[in-house]
């Protein structure tokens, strides 16, 4: 049987939706295409912890599989898992779920929670304020919903302050999206900055979405009473989105949850029923082992890597000191005469893979490195960066 002629192939340029066509993944894709031609590159681009999943977390999921908890859960998630997470949030941020004002649900990763939140609140004509630089999903929430995404310029210190946000609010603004610690900068807002942003959103009747995937990766010098400074400490009408993927190095398990006003969670759960159906059932039980595991030692190791980066590069380039996560966002020195993309391409010529700042921003003046890599890989990468940043 012969293959059909290419003249009979479907024309997907006509079939593809404007929504899909409006989303451009070329920034990261181009870098990985270039990297595929380099043998054994020094990879400082991956945003995934370099330690194995802790044994109690593995055991909880394995036990769930052995106990045949492999079918669908209800849309919001396994009832016992939800109770465990509610108790955790009551202890962590002081929220009470007893009177029904608040609710929570398991999501397919924190990205799944963000998408459901956007679909539940935004439509054509609405505006969503996001930080610039941003996590790559944030601007695409506009394409998915028809809303307008309004970037808030946070250069040069990368702090999404109330003062910066207030100037962007219009009658069409519905929500503000905060990430602290943030990707790609690692910047953590202070308790005072968080409180002022909460006060602004509360006064203007705006939904504050707090993406806290890196809450457990807040370094000791930025913790408040041992915790990440979260807007949830000051207002229980925040939509709080967290997960375990980064915390325990199980990003592929797609483990997230969303907690906040019951009316909003109800809409998100309704949409999940017809999209993701439920979060991965057996993996949800990893949340039951949270109290048995501490990653404090790992976070301290990452803080030491942060300090090494600051020691070796701060005299060569402007580097905002990360307060959490595992990224550094580095400005390309003006004397090099390069954009972030050009610098990333030059780094690749030396076997080093970094991510251009234009992937995360309207500006192309920086590049991102991840220090979620073995120490010896980071040392090699920093040596290349020192050479490139010193070049005239």
From the list 224, 214, 140, 145, the residue with the least C-alpha distance to 178 is 214
**338 and 365 co-located in one domain:** yes
Based on the fold, state whether residues 320 and 223 are members of the same structural domain: no
Residues 256, 332 share a domain? no
| Whole-angstrom distance, CA of residue 309 vs CA of residue 332 | 15
- Could you tell me if 276 and 135 lie in one domain? yes
Domain co-membership, 312 together with 348: yes
Q: Contact at 8 Å (CB) between 90 and 104?
A: no
Tell me whether residue 9 is in a domain: no
Is 37 part of any domain?
yes
Phi, psi values for residue 329, rounded to 5°: -110, 110
Is residue 51 a part of any domain in this protein? no
Would you give the end-to-end CA distance of the chain in angstroms? 62
Give the closest residue to 90 by CA, choosing from 80, 104, 77, 79.
104
Question: Based on the structure, what is the number of domains in the chain?
Answer: 2
If asked whether residues 143 and 79 sit together in one domain, one would say yes
Chain CA centroid to CA 111, Å: 8
167 and 207 co-located in one domain: yes
Give the CATH number, domain containing residue 340: 3.90.1150.10
The reply to whether 37 and 74 lie within a common domain is no
Of 128, 73, 5, 10, nearest to 255 by C-alpha is 73
Structure tokens at 145: 């919903």
Residue 167 CA to residue 104 CA, distance in Å, equals 32
Per the structure block, which two tokens stand in for 355?
Answer: 């991510």
Which one, of 386, 373, 387, lies nearest residue 41 by Cα? 373
**253 lies in the same domain as 329:** no
Q: Is the pLDDT of residue 4 over 70?
A: no
pTM: 0.94
Question: Model confidence at 28, in pLDDT bands (50, 70, 90)?
Answer: low
Q: What is the pLDDT of residue 21?
A: 83
Mean pLDDT of the chain: 93
Residue 147 has pLDDT above 90, yes or no: yes
Q: Could you tell me the two tokens for 55?
A: 């044994």
pLDDT recorded at residue 22: 82
- The token pair that represents 267 in the structure block: 């809409």
CB 38 within 8 A of CB 348: yes
Q: Answer yes or no: do 268 and 153 share one domain.
A: yes
Residue 368 domain-assigned (yes or no): yes
Residue 129's contacts (CB-CB under 8 Å, 6 or more residues apart) are 150, 152, 165, 168, 169, 173, 175, 176, 177
**pLDDT tens-place string over residues 219-263:** 999 999 999 999 999 999 999 999 999 999 899 999 999 999 999
Q: Which domain holds residue 82?
A: 56-292
Query: What is the per-residue pLDDT across 103-112, written as a single tens digit (0 to 9) for each?
Result: 999 999 999 9
Answer yes or no: do 236 and 346 share one domain.
no
Residue 171 falls inside a structural domain: yes
Looking at 292, 324, 354, which one is the last position of a domain?
292
Q: Do 225 and 257 belong together in one domain?
A: yes
């Amino acid at each position: 049987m012969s293959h059909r002629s290419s003249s009979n192939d479907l024309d997907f340029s006509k079939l593809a939706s404007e929504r899909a066509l409006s989303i451009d993944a070329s920034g990261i894709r181009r870098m990985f295409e270039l990297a595929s031609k380099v043998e054994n590159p020094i990879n400082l681009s991956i945003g995934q912890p370099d330690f194995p999943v802790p044994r109690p977390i593995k055991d909880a999921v394995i036990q769930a599989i052995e106990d045949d908890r492999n079918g669908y859960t209800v849309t919001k998630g396994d009832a016992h898992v939800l109770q465990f997470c509610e108790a955790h949030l009551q202890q962590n941020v002081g929220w009470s779920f007893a009177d029904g004002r608040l609710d929570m649900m398991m999501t397919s990763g924190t990205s799944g929670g963000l998408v459901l939140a956007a679909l539940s609140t935004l439509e054509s004509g609405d505006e969503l304020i996001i930080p610039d630089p941003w996590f790559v999903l944030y601007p695409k929430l506009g394409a998915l919903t028809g809303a307008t995404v309004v970037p808030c310029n946070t250069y040069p210190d990368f702090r999404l302050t109330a003062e910066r946000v207030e100037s962007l609010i219009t009658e069409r603004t519905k929500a503000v999206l905060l990430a602290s610690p943030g990707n790609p900068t690692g910047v953590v807002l202070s308790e005072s900055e968080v409180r002022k942003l909460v006060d602004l959103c509360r006064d203007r009747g705006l939904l504050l979405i707090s993406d806290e995937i890196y809450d457990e990766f807040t370094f000791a010098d930025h913790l408040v009473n041992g915790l990440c400074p979260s807007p949830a400490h000051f207002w229980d009408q925040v939509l709080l989105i967290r997960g375990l993927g980064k915390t325990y190095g199980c990003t592929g398990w797609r483990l997230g949850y969303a907690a906040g006003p019951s009316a909003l969670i109800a809409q998100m759960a309704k949409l999940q029923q017809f999209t993701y159906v439920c979060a991965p059932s057996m993996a949800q039980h990893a949340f039951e082992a949270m109290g048995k595991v501490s990653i404090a030692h790992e976070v301290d190791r990452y803080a030491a890597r942060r300090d090494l980066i600051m020691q070796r590069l701060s005299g060569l380039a402007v580097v905002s000191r990360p307060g959490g996560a595992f990224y550094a966002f580095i400005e390309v020195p003006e004397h090099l005469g390069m954009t972030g993309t050009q610098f990333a391409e030059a780094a690749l010529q030396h076997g080093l893979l970094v991510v251009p700042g234009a992937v995360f921003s309207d500006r192309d003046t920086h590049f991102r490195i991840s220090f979620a890599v073995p120490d010896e890989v980071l040392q090699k990468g920093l040596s290349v960066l020192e050479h490139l940043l010193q070049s005239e």
